[in-house]
Amino acid sequence: MAHWQVQQVIDGLQQARHDWRDSQHRAKAFGGRELPSKNALKVIVNELCGILFPMRLGPTDLRQESEDFYIAYALDKVLNALKHQVVLALSYDHRRLQKTTDLAQLQTLAHQIVQDFADQLPSIRRLLDTDVIAAYEGDPAARSVDEVLITYPGMLAITYHRLAHLLYADVPLLSRMISEQAHSATGIDIHPGATIGQGFFIDHGTGVVIGETCIIGKNVRIYQAVTLGAKRFEVDEAGSLKKDYARHPIVEDDVVIYAGATILGRVTIGQGSSIGGNVWLTHSIAPYSQVLQQNCDQVKSQQQI
């Protein structure tokens, strides 16, 4: 077996870590993990999917008469695991913002965050049921609601999003990690800050991008490669990018956006409108508009009159 001279490599990596932490003004952390675990979150979200849909996404040997026992056991396990990840995320935020960290206070705050999250799971289940129905009724290729739930990438993406969105206000890092798992698995990129109403259907889905400050109404259907993004990035007096301002579209109820359409900026797509494939749109449109490539400029001109 070959013998490698690695002490220089170890020393160099150690110095690189120290230089990075100094440049980022990182306080020294003692013991244990500093950040939430991607692997732990993957297990947690998978368990949550089984809790929400036990007979379809839960254990293979589960029977209906045992559903409540399984959910009670699984909830206790998953909420404790989630609390640990929330504590790590809160602790990271406190160190990053140079706040005084009191572990007991963080534990109490994490417990309340996770309890609030758990309390909303029945509502999330009902909301996801509307998404399943929307996909089944909106896709002639769908043979059953069960097929939609267990095979459609759009359904996986919106399930992860609805869970991540619950955590976004309190632990944004954790919610972003959850949403990126769906992004990696499906090619659908939904920022956990986006607000999405009931009956949401993403058909096919690959390449869909939905930005942080998007607001999407009820019964909206979009197709692959749709972008709901920002038109430009504002900067402050120092030339740094501004954060936390509304920069993505508002899509009202009953809108359909076809494949490849790009809608940018804080514009409003009026209720009941249809946006054709490959349209590039940077202005608001009135309710019940139909925008195609060939009439996109015409619609804009009519609205300016």
Residue 305: per-residue pLDDT: 40
Question: Which residue type sits at 298?
Answer: Q
Write out 46-76 in H/E/C secondary structure.
HHHHHHHCHHHHCCCCCCHHHHHHHHHHHHH
**Is the distance from CB of 197 to CB of 214 less than 8 angstroms?**
no
Could you list the mean pLDDT of each consecutive 10-residue stretch along the chain, which spans 305 residues? 90 92 69 83 97 94 92 96 96 80 89 97 98 97 96 97 97 96 97 98 97 98 97 81 90 98 97 96 96 71 48
CA distance linking residue 47 with residue 262, whole number of Å:
35
Residue 240: per-residue pLDDT: 81
Question: Which residue type sits at 267?
Answer: V
Nearest to 161 by CA among 207, 193, 203, 117: 193
Residue 298: per-residue pLDDT: 60
Residue 28: per-residue pLDDT: 61
CA distance linking residue 69 with residue 65, whole number of Å:
9
Set out the domains of the chain in order of their start, with CATH numbers.
33-188 (1.10.3130.10), 194-305 (2.160.10.10)
Structure tokens at 241: 């990018």
pTM above 0.95, yes or no: no
